Amino acid sequence: MIKTAFVTGVLGQDGAYLSRLLLEKGYRVVGAYRQSALMNTWRLSALGIRDDVELIPLELLDYSNVQRCIGSVKPDELYNLAAQSFVGLSFEQPLYTGDADGLAVTRILEAIRSVSPSTRFYQASTSEMFGQNQALVQSETTPFNPSSPYAIAKLYGHWMTVNYRTVHGLHASSGILFNHESPLRGREFVTRKITATFAEIAQGADKVLELGNLDVARDWGFAGDYVRGMHLMLQQDKPGDYVLATGRKTTVRAFVECAAKVCGYTLEWEGEGVQSVGRDARSGRPLVRVNPVFFRLADVDVLVGDASKAKRELGWTAEVSLEQLVEKMVLEDYAAVRRGESLS
Ligand code: NAP
Ligand code: F7E
């Protein structure tokens, strides 16, 4: 029997990698995108699966549309990846973020309960839900303390997933994923901003990379590893909540140094805080500086995850190291610039 998977947010980074994985496993993949937006399928094309995913429009803010789409497909598995996923923007668009990232989860769960109760459900939850917290490493038992509208909306979606699991008996799982990146990452996120800008600088662009807080630390993994974990969660007899993370902490500053190194630069830092400048050690040319525009109204200093439950119960671990990830991202951006493409 061919299984059907329904993937919301199919045109995003994770939607593309997850769809490829599911197609490789023989699934029929129905991918939902938001009709109001430009239908930008570049990520599906980059992975060579543009024509293999059945694309349907879905408006997550309209319950009748959500119910009709789920009722007509009746998928075996539904992965809810759609979201306004940029934390910085959520301070400017708190209501939309609350609707798309929070209430929309309830619309999907309610539709599943009403018209397709045997559908297994995956919710894309996030390490941002931990916010500023006392734990050195965060796991499924660490208390949440969200500090952005994005994190608060996601926490609501997380608890509704738990609620529909316990109250209505749905097979509903929540993946609490730490940052995961790839060459398909949007350029608004710090990792891709860094790799794309260095790829341009290394090929002659007269640019200086402008960043916000260089000293925040995140746990960065490769998106291709994380979508394996999503799929594994829905193959378990019982649903649950799982942290996916590498367990390694890296500052933005260290990520920049690593990307610069792939391009043949060694960075030397001078100045503190907003005065920090990173210069090419050989020429003295400034390559990185701080611009306070990129500081958040509230940020989280450090996030690093403990994925031992996922390892124990799912057999999941992150396989790609930070160095391999950075190299992969820089080299793909470098090759695209070389081909004369403007980077997406
Ligand atoms: P992404 O690249 O931003 O993809 C999200 C997708 O959701 C985009 O294609 C976007 O469409 C779509 N979307 C936004 N608002 C929508 C709406 N109202 N209706 C329908 N679709 C909408 O994000 P990602 O990195 O793949 O992340 C996937 C999910 O995991 C997100 O829910 C994110 O919050 C969550 N997450 C990500 C990470 C990470 O590190 N990547 C970590 C933890 C959790 P447009 O392209 O049209 O905007
Ligand atoms: O920021 C700092 C910034 O925007 C990472 C999403 O996928 O992961 C992602 O959210 C850190 C923050 O990702 C710049 O302040 C410094 O502390 O790449 P980011 P994010 O906010 O961690 C989580 C897990 C998700 O769930 C989200 O959906 O880097 N930072 N300078 C900067 N960030 C950006 N974007 N740009 C800068 O110039």
Ligand 2 pocket test target in 87, 215, 301 with most atoms within 8 Å of CB: 87
Catalytic residue among 128, 200, 257, 332: 128
CB of 328 closer than 6 angstroms to any ligand 2 atom: no
* pLDDT for the residue 343: 80
Cβ neighbours, 10 Å, residue 237 = 5
CB of 299 shorter than 6 A to ligand 2: yes
In one-letter notation, the amino acid at residue 21 is: L
What token pair was written down for 108?
């999907």
Q: What is the pLDDT of residue 134?
A: 83
Query: Among residues 129, 95, 134, 92, which one has the least CA distance to residue 296?
Result: 92
E runs forming strands in the chain: 4-8, 28-33, 54-57, 77-80, 120-126, 172-177, 180-181, 209-211, 217-218, 221-222, 241-244, 250-251, 267-270, 277-280, 286-290
**Among the listed residues 230, 229, 240, 219, the one whose alpha carbon sits nearest the alpha carbon of residue 141:** 240
Residues 19, 21: Cα–Cα separation, whole Å: 5
Low-confidence residues of the chain: pLDDT under 70:
36-37
Given the DSSP bridges, would you call strands 277-280 and 267-270 parallel, antiparallel or unpaired? antiparallel
Give residue 342's pLDDT. Answer: 81
Give catalytic status of residue 191 as yes or no.
Answer: no
Is the C-beta atom of 107 inside 6 A of ligand 1?
no
Q: Is 150 one of the annotated active-site residues of the chain?
A: yes
Q: Measured between alpha carbons, how far is 307 from 178 in angstroms, rounded to an integer?
A: 10
- How far, in Å, from the CA of 201 to the mean position of ligand 1? 29
Three-state DSSP class for residue 267: strand
The edge-to-edge listing of strands for the beta sheet with 54-57 is 54-57, 28-33, 4-8, 77-80, 120-126, 172-177, 241-244
Give the other-Cβ count within 10 Å of 202's Cβ: 20
**According to the model, what pLDDT value does residue 37 have?**
62
Q: Does 106 qualify as catalytic in the annotation?
A: no
Q: Rounded to an integer, what distance in angstroms lies between the CA atom of residue 182 and that of residue 17? A: 10
Instruction: Kindly state if the Cβ of 124 falls inside 6 Å of ligand 1.
Output: yes
Q: Give pLDDT tens digits for 169-199.
A: 999 999 999 999 999 999 999 999 999 999 9
Ligand 1: centre distance to CA 131 (Å)? 19
For 2-31, write each residue's pLDDT tens digit.
999 999 999 999 999 999 999 999 999 999
179 pocket-lining for ligand 2 (C-beta < 6 Å): yes
What per-residue confidence (pLDDT) applies to 283?
A: 96
Question: 213 CB less than 6 Å from ligand 1?
Answer: no
Q: What separation in Å is there between the alpha carbon of 186 and the centre of ligand 1?
A: 10
Instruction: Give the Å distance between the CA of 279 and the centre of ligand 1.
Output: 34
Place of tokens 């938001």: 34
